[in-house]
Structure 1
Amino acid sequence: MEQKIITISDARLREAAAQGMDEFLQVFIDRYREVIGGELNAGNMGMLNGEQISLLAYALFREEVMDGGFIQLIHNGYGPFIFDNPFAKAMRLMGAHDFSKLVYKGKRLYDKYKEELTKDCSDEEFMALFEAYPQFDDLDDEFVEMEEEVTAALACYVDEHLELFAEVVKE
């Protein structure tokens, strides 16, 4: 599939920026999801460039980890997308250095426990994973503590490199 030119309204972007960094990034994330039909997959990944995919990956990472930690992220099948791709490197290049290190720590645990964490299981068995793998707790806590800083770093990077993330149009 051919890469799309993603356009975002200048007015919408300014409005979101005035509301804060989360809202600013969300404009891009929502637009990417709209363009790809809701969910990134092998069939539509070519519609986005590497920076856009990295920002979308961060949104997915943040949603999953803030909701259920690294265990949920991995169990829900996002381990390969986050840990087997250059996501951590992209985050470092975008200025989120500590977050990049955290993702590398997560990758080591993912590589060690992915078989157990990705098995089909009942809700009860899923909840038991949190007790069985407490080594993920520190990573979860570390991300919660740094999330605002990471989001701010990414928002700053996007703002300074708008042309990599979308074509801003006046309407």
Structure 2
Amino acid sequence: MIEITDAALQAAAGEGMDEFIQVFTDKYKEVIGGELTAETMSLLTGEQHSLLAYQILREEIMVGGFCQLIQNGYGGYIFDNPFAKVMRLWGADSFSKLIYKAKKIYDANRKDLEKERTDDEFMAMYEQFEAFDDLEEEYLDMEERVTATIASYVDDHLELFAKIIK
């Protein structure tokens, strides 16, 4: 089991919910050597993968939206796994619905969304896939609540996410 010190958690909790989550996800990234590969996937549990997926999605959406998330290779990690269902089970119902809506767009356009692009072609994706715009805005409106919900779930179920050491 992945170990995290209680002191690191306490310090991060004092900083905010996203920092609290980041203590876990930074450790997960360290354990997998910073790369999600077939070899490293088994190093994390389902709960740990779901938390890491949320952190990745949050970072990508905040900077460049769903197009960037997918172009950076995370489409399958988010949409081909039970991520949306897990978010519902963790209490983030409206966020789960948003992920299902984004998955529909992704599934319908996957080949085009994932193809290699130049910088100009990448920028043009934002016009081509305007269907993501409303979902991105909706996420930005709910991000603090979703992050708080997930952080609370993690805090209530620490043993699922790491072994906390003194």
Same fold (TM over 0.5): yes
Q: Residues of 2 paired with 1:113 and 1:141: CA distance?
A: 20
Counterpart of 2:22 in structure 1: which amino acid? Q
Which of these residues, 1, 11, 17, is aligned with residue 15 of structure 1? 11
1:127 & 1:54 partners in 2: Cα distance? 29
Alpha-carbon offset, residue 62 of structure 1: 0.9
Q: Percent same amino acid at aligned positions?
A: 61
The more displaced of 155-164 and 79-88 is 79-88
Q: Deviations over 1:15-68 (max 9, x none)?
A: 111111111111101111111111222111111111001000111111111111
In 2, Cα distance between the equivalents of 1:77 and 1:31? 21
Q: Structure 1 stretches of 5 or more lacking a match?
A: none
**Match of residue 144, structure 1, among 140, 144, 165:** 140
Corresponding position: 1:91 with 2:87? yes
Quote the RMSD (CA, aligned, Å): 0.9
CA distances 1:58-109 after superposition (whole Å, capped 9, x unpaired): 1111111111111111222211111111010111111111110000000000
Q: Which runs of structure 1 show a deviation greater than 4 angstroms over 4 or more consecutive aligned residues?
A: none
Q: Which residue of 2 aligns with 1:63?
A: 59
Q: Number of residues paired by the alignment?
A: 166
TM-score where L is the length of structure 1? 0.94
Q: Pairwise mapping of residues 13-162 of structure 1 onto structure 2 (< 5 A)?
A: 13-162=9-158
Unaligned runs of 5+ in 2: none
